[in-house]
């Protein structure tokens, strides 16, 4: 019984580690490949710039949520983009987990909340870049 619990715990820990490492690797590689211009109506660039100095993090979170909803809607409903890749789904799951992490830490640990918002902004930027580059290649 103890061995089963230990094996399950270690397996879950390794799964969490793999997920975080994969998400951070995807974010890093896609940010290095970013070439397509993104519409200026998105606010995730401003969120990333204001993250260190903004006293009110909730307004930044609301801007990111709006951008995330728009980008995911466009990715799902734009003709020609096809099915979402596993990487896109991992990034979307990472966004949702960082959103929950922000909700847990925004009052007690504001620095952790700022890191969560930064990662959320990076996810939205990656998804928007994918959408932009896919639309440019169709033109």
Condensed to tens digits (0 to 9), the pLDDT of residues 4-14 reads 999 999 999 99
> Which has the minimum average pLDDT: 68-72, 74-78, 108-112?
74-78
Res 95 pLDDT > 90? yes
Averaged pLDDT, 46-58: 86
Range of 54's domain?
2-138
The predicted structure's pLDDT at residue 137 = 56
Contact 118, 51 (CB under 8 A): yes
Which tokens is 88 given?
A: 């896109």
Res 43 pLDDT > 60? yes
Number of helices followed by number of strands (H, E) in the chain: 5, 0
DSSP letter for each residue of 8-38: HHHHHHHHHHHHHHHHHHHHHHHHHT--S--
| Closest to 135 (Cα-Cα) out of 80, 76, 67 | 80
What proportion of the chain, given as a percentage, has pLDDT over 70? 86
Res 86 pLDDT > 60? yes
The predicted structure's pLDDT at residue 81 = 57
What predicted TM-score, i.e. pTM, was given to this entire model? 0.84
Which tokens is 48 given?
A: 């990333």
The predicted structure's pLDDT at residue 136 = 57
pLDDT tier at 79 (50, 70, 90 boundaries)? low
Tally of domains within the chain: 1
């Amino acid at each position: 019984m103890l061995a089963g619990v230990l094996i399950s715990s270690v397996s879950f820990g390794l799964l969490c580690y793999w997920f975080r490492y994969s998400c951070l690797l995807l974010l890093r590689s896609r940010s290095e490949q970013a070439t397509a211009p993104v519409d200026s109506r998105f606010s995730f660039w401003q969120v990333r710039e204001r993250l260190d100095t903004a006293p009110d993090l909730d307004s930044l979170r609301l801007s990111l949520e709006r951008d995330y909803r728009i980008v995911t809607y466009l990715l799902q409903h734009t003709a020609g983009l096809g099915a979402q890749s596993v990487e896109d789904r991992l990034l979307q799951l990472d966004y949702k987990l960082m959103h929950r992490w922000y909700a847990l830490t925004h009052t007690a640990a504001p620095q952790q909340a700022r890191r969560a918002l930064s990662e959320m902004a990076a996810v939205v930027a990656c998804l928007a870049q994918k959408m932009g580059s896919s639309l440019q290649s169709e033109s």
